[in-house]
Structure 1
Amino acid sequence: MSAARAAASYQALQRYLAVGDGSGLYHERYPVAAGDNAYSYEWPFSQAHTATLDLTGMPGGQGEAYLRDLAARAVGQQRYWKASGGTTGKPGYASYPVPPYGGGGDFFYDDNEWVGLLDVQRYLTHGDREALERAERVFQLVVSGWDSDTAHADSGGVFWTQAAWSQDRNTVSNMPGAQLGLRLHQITGQASYLDWARRMYDWTNRHLLSPDGLYWDHVNLTDTVETTFWSYNQGVPVGVNVLLYEITGDREYLDRAQRIAGAAHSYFVTGGRLLGQPPYFNSIYFKNQLLLESVAGGHTHRDAMREYGETVWNRYRDAGTGLFHFDGAAWTETLQQAAMVQVYAALAWDPADCRKLY
């Protein structure tokens, strides 16, 4: 059932949200409204890219049908790549397509980390060496975003963006960076990847881990902490601790992963807050929980993910179009639709193969 739902949700994504001008890009939402950009920002595109990648991992030959589409996503992804122009001198993915499709945009470190992680997954799933090389270049950009000014409050950490209007350092710009570094260390054996991953992990734990065992969102340069709990900010630290356990063999990391996962389950699932989270945060949250269960065993989080997918399918899906409409909205965002493709595709994976997620 999950594979069929993933396929149907993806077909709707392609029918209503893919741009038909040969660019390989997506609209930000459907229906397109007056004043909307011609194309989506990089973050929604990366999640459509990830959704396609997750489809290729479905077992029993089902994933093979999406390999051509995965190649098309790589072409579209390149529309955001800037070989120069970042404030740190490192290339990366801009927030909007570059010429001739758009004017580019600022670099967001978390946006780039998601692409780096999907590139690692492409390598682990399909042996794509070019994707691995791009992931390594993305990590160089991430490292260049480290706050090295010791005069700053809570100095250290990777900034959220290079844009001048924000100097926040976030859980989401540091923990996914750590996860990317750990994956690259596992693949290449290079010590520098592990060293930087530990720095990002340790900084986040010092400054953004709450007494409740959950992670706050960000801290600014005046030491003001934004204390919102988002589901994806709990999921990624789970995955980071699982990878640290695999690399070091230290059981404490696996115990930490289980403690965070348990606290998040209590807060979001048992506490009834999960449907109040954006689906694109929940897809990241749950997939990291599947990574945990692929190593530690159990099915608590897979069961919760399946229940979430069932609820969303029955409550928010338009059966006529196959699109999901959240919070009573008249439109569907690429980011939302792609997230639900990921949820259903990942549920269709063999549980043991979920070690390749993120």
Structure 2
Amino acid sequence: MARKFGISTRKIAGGLLAAGMLAALHAPAAEAAPAAKTAPTAENAQMTVNPAARATASYQALNKYFSAGPGLLLEEYPNTQQNPYSYVWPYSQAVVAAENLAGIPGIGSKWSAEAEHRLDGYEPYWNATTTPKGYDSYVRPPLGQGGDKFYDDNEWIGLNLIQHYQRTGDRSSLARAKEIFALVVHGWDTDPAHPCAGGVYWTQAPWSQDRNTVSNGPGAELGAHLYLLTKDESYLTWAKRMYAWAQQCMLAPNGLYWDHIDLAGTIEKTQWSYNQGVMLGAGTLLYKATHDKKYLNDAKALAEASLAFYNTDDRLWKQPTRFNSIYFKNLLILDSVSPDSRYQATMQAYSDRAWSEVRDPATGLFHFAEGPVTLLEQSGMIQIDALLAWPRSRYDELA
């Protein structure tokens, strides 16, 4: 179905921006809280072996507990925030969850309308008054107060739109992805005096001048996808440039990627799972775009190093689910080119553990930490289970 991006029909009031909350979205999860257990049912027994059923049940719980009016969602449940709606990054991950469900063979057609509905919910965040245009971090007037643009937020949405385009052929999704990439290029550091000069900044917010793996890896992925779809060499040039910057400035001696560098040259050396995911995904896509085996070898080496790292000392479980869902998806992107059964097996084991240890069967919500359930973590689990229901033959449609 053709979509006209930029036209919002939402009539919702309110919204406050809190910079501290935006930063908190990138913080690690606390220790998982035990989920309340109820007696097993036949339905629950079926879902223990059926990833599509798991994803369906978890998404139904998301709609039940996180709905915040027509088309928008809460940040958490129960909601303890002043904001009546989620920031755009959590919202985008719910849209990705719906898109992943729509791609499941056999049942996907039943989810197509939901994926369209969720895509429409992006429009209250779209800011067409800036040059370049892009998505604000929070809903804009009259729905809310808007917020600073984050380049990674926009990249996640761009990748979501690419996957939607590859499933549906919706040209407006491709056009919007191109607009987003123009914003990402605008975020490139052009000051040669900076330590590790170059790289895409994380945000336009004045309180951060960090350049992150996660603002360059997804940018490289988006550029590579756009090149593969359009054959416009400028997309490939920028994708290679973003990838090279991250590899030069963020690659650690252990073969994994650090998080970010500031303008003083200080590197934040946490090795989040999603940073590994976006870089191995970017390497895979650049291999598809160039046929240069260096990129494929990079991706395979990173997959090997990351599996060894995260499967030691329970590190994968200690990573936030919102990061692991991105890591797993990119392992499947690599799997589409260089099959390795360990990728899906690791993903399945994580899903099984989450289902048995932190899911509340009474609500269908995942309690990875004390306190409210976040939209990010619930959406992450839906994404994981939905993709476990995809056949390998469809992995090349992922973005």
TM-score tier after normalising by the smaller chain length: over 0.9
Match of 1:65 in 2: 110
| Counterpart-to-counterpart distance in 2, 1:16 and 1:279 | 19
- What is the Cα deviation at residue 187 of structure 1? 0.1
- What is the Cα deviation at residue 72 of structure 1? 0.9
Match of 1:31 in 2: 78
What count of residue pairs does the alignment treat as equivalent?
350
Aligned match of 2:226 in 152, 159, 184?
184
* 1:219 to 2:261 alignment: yes
Aligned match of 2:382 in 322, 332, 341?
341
Match of 1:115 in 2: 157
- What is the Cα deviation at residue 36 of structure 1? 2.8
> With CA pairs under 8 Å and 6+ residues apart, which has the higher RCO, 1 or 2?
2
* 1:3 to 2:52 alignment: yes
| Counterpart-to-counterpart distance in 2, 1:199 and 1:258 | 20
Aligned match of 2:146 in 83, 95, 104?
104
* 1:300 to 2:342 alignment: yes
Residue type at the aligned position of 1:229: Q
| Counterpart-to-counterpart distance in 2, 1:224 and 1:78 | 37
Residue type at the aligned position of 2:281: G
- What is the Cα deviation at residue 271 of structure 1? 4.1
| Counterpart-to-counterpart distance in 2, 1:134 and 1:289 | 26
| Counterpart-to-counterpart distance in 1, 2:327 and 2:281 | 9
- What is the Cα deviation at residue 111 of structure 1? 0.1
TM-score, normalised to structure 2, is: 0.86
**Aligned ranges 1:315-326 → 2 under 5 Å:** 315-326=357-368
Secondary structure, aligned partner of 1:296: coil
**Aligned ranges 1:183-262 → 2 under 5 Å:** 183-262=225-304
- Which runs of no fewer than 5 residues in structure 2 stay unpaired? 1-49
| Counterpart-to-counterpart distance in 2, 1:81 and 1:199 | 27
- What is the Cα deviation at residue 269 of structure 1? 2.1
| Counterpart-to-counterpart distance in 2, 1:252 and 1:330 | 45
TM-score, normalised to structure 1, is: 0.96
Residue type at the aligned position of 1:337: Q
**Aligned ranges 1:74-153 → 2 under 5 Å:** 74-85=119-130, 89-153=131-195
- What is the Cα deviation at residue 15 of structure 1? 0.3
| Counterpart-to-counterpart distance in 2, 1:128 and 1:284 | 24
Give the aligned CA root-mean-square deviation in angstroms: 0.9
- Give the ranges of 4+ consecutive aligned residues of structure 1 lying more than 2 Å apart after TM superposition: none
Q: Deviations over 1:207-232 (max 9, x none)?
A: 00011110000000111000000000
- What is the Cα deviation at residue 272 of structure 1? 1.8
- What is the Cα deviation at residue 75 of structure 1? 1.4
| Counterpart-to-counterpart distance in 1, 2:78 and 2:209 | 34
Aligned match of 1:48 in 94, 104, 110?
94
Secondary structure, aligned partner of 1:295: coil
Which structure shows the bigger proportion of residues in helix conformation? 1
| Counterpart-to-counterpart distance in 1, 2:101 and 2:312 | 29
